[in-house]
Amino acid sequence: MMQPKAAGTRKSMPTPRVPAAADEQSLAAGTASEQLPHNENSIGQQRDSLPSPEGDRLGTDQEGTGRKRVLVLPTVVCANPLCARISQMAPGTIVFEHQLGCGQLEAGRRDAFGELVRQAARPEVGSVLIISHGCEVINPYELEEEIGRLGKPVEVLDILTAGGSVKTLRAGAEMARRMQEALDRGALLQTGTGHA
């Protein structure tokens, strides 16, 4: 016969272990959900709510050159690690990490959508690579359309459609590199130091 538990006693849950930082090899091995080290290219801090307008959402151009950057933009929190890795693999690009895009009510979805568009509208952003998971409340193609109205080149890559994290990592890094190179070529041509 089972003895009743004394009132007020609770079995404590073990503290979850935070996984070690993932590298490209572990991502390729299917451990993309592991926590990545903070990306030096990150322009947002991981937080529970939207950053305030005065907050440090996008870093300023540290070189002071006015260089246009490709913004790697996740539509949902679970795409943050992959976007951070893509940005690390594509020199010159930046990423906006956030805690939004999943399980939000309509008002929250609209706020998050608007914040992503505002990040894309920043003057240092020359083009945008949207990384979608494929199941979030923010529609990446609506976001693509809205960012396109800003007159900036924009591409969408969907993790589920692309065939998973590893394929998205490879395709996303290549797309981001190509987009950043196009921005850099355009800047050289505008200053008259490049060749057509």
> Per residue in 49-93, pLDDT tens?
333 333 333 444 444 457 899 999 999 999 999 999 999 999 999
Check whether 5 has a pLDDT greater than 90. Answer: no
Q: How much is the pLDDT for 100? A: 85
Task: Give percent of the chain above pLDDT 90.
Answer: 55
* pLDDT confidence band for 96 (50 / 70 / 90): very high
pTM above 0.85, yes or no: no
Answer whether 158's CB lies under 8 Å from 132's CB. Answer: yes
Cα separation, 132 vs 153, in Å, equals 17
Cβ proximity of 139 and 114 under 8 Å: no
Calculate the CA 168 to chain-centre distance: 13
Average pLDDT, the chain: 75
| pLDDT at position 15 over 50 | no
Which residue type occupies 86?
I
Which residue type, as a one-letter code, is found at position 125? V
Angstrom distances, CA of residue 152 to CA of 51, 75, 94, 147: 23, 17, 15, 7
Q: Averaged over 89-115, what is the pLDDT?
A: 92
In this structure, the strands spanning 94-95 and 125-132 are: unpaired
178: left (phi over 0), alpha (psi -120 to 50) or beta: alpha
The whole-number pLDDT of residue 135 equals 84
